[in-house]
Amino acid sequence: MPENIAQEVLDFALFLRQREEKSEWQNLMLAQASAFIDWDNDEDEIWNNVSEI
């Protein structure tokens, strides 16, 4: 395979890996955001005034 074609294939493979990593990161951030929605509620407000031990 010519070197320039091999470089294109490698660049494309790296692009796909970066896209997958970005997608995984976005999924993690979305999961974390939805968890914080449940965390921040009026019932838990009392914990904001607890002093550190």
Exposure string over 8-41, b if 16+ CB within 10 A, otherwise e: eeeeeeeeeeeeeeeeeeeeeeeeeeeeeeeeee
Q: Which residues of the chain have pLDDT under 50?
A: none
According to the model, what pLDDT value does residue 2 have?
93
Compute the distance between CA of residue 27 and CA of residue 22 in angstroms, rounded to an integer.
Answer: 9
* pLDDT recorded at residue 53: 64
Which tokens hold the place of 36?
């914080």
pLDDT at 50: 79
What are the tokens at 15? 């692009």
Q: If you ran DSSP here, which 8-state letter would residue 9 be given?
A: H
